[in-house]
Amino acid sequence: MSATPSRTISPLHEAFYISSMLFNAQSADRSLTQINAVLHVIAENSPENPMEALPVFYLLGELQNLVSQCAALSRYFWPVRAAHAWRGKQLREVFGVSDESPLRSRDLRNDFEHFDEQLDLYLDREIVGYVLPEYVGPFPNEQQVPLHLFRAYYVDTGVFELLSKRYDIAPLASEMRRIFEKLRLMDSQGGRLNV
């Protein structure tokens, strides 16, 4: 009895994977570019109190999109179902993505894939204290009254918080940008997955 040959992405289908992943990476990269531009402009034009000039809702939306698109990219490399593990393995090899990648976080994927359910659970908790729907600034000091932040970005640590879960932006952004550059190159060279 012969062993079942391992499955691989057909060369005819490589461009479809590249295009699909490029959509997520490009969206994440656009958000990262916007985040950096906003922070730079505010720092340049409002040096005395940059936090007051920040477009908080906009900035948090771009951060949420960045993290959400990184979670979507994660599913290509680590599929949920075992039947698709072959594809994840091949893509990890092609893109040099290790199991230590910040994209591998199961919490990251689950939190954003099931955001609606996470929101239900978050709001079902008894929330006592100060509740802020949006916050951008330094990590808050310990307070006597509990502080609950729906969405926050801590400028001193580079951490984005959503529904009490925290995500370190720099490693996610760095890994996403590395993959994005490879995707752009592959796309420009005929849509082939080059090892």
In a domain, 3, yes or no: no
In a domain, 194, yes or no: no
* β 165-168/159-162 pair status: antiparallel
Torsion sign (Cα): 180, 30, 36, 44: positive
In a domain, 30, yes or no: yes
Give residue-wise pLDDT tens across range 11-39.
999 999 999 999 999 999 999 999 999 98
d(CA 164, CA 149): 7
In a domain, 8, yes or no: no
Average pLDDT over residues 119-140: 86
186 burial via Cβ count (<10 Å: 0-12, 13-18, 19+): buried
In a domain, 122, yes or no: yes
d(CA 89, CA 77): 7
Give residue-wise pLDDT tens across range 89-115.
999 999 999 999 999 988 877 777 788
d(CA 79, CA 108): 14
In a domain, 4, yes or no: no
Determine the pLDDT at residue 4.
47
What is the overall mean pLDDT for the chain?
89
- What domain count does the chain have? 1
In a domain, 70, yes or no: yes
Q: Which domain holds residue 20?
A: 14-188
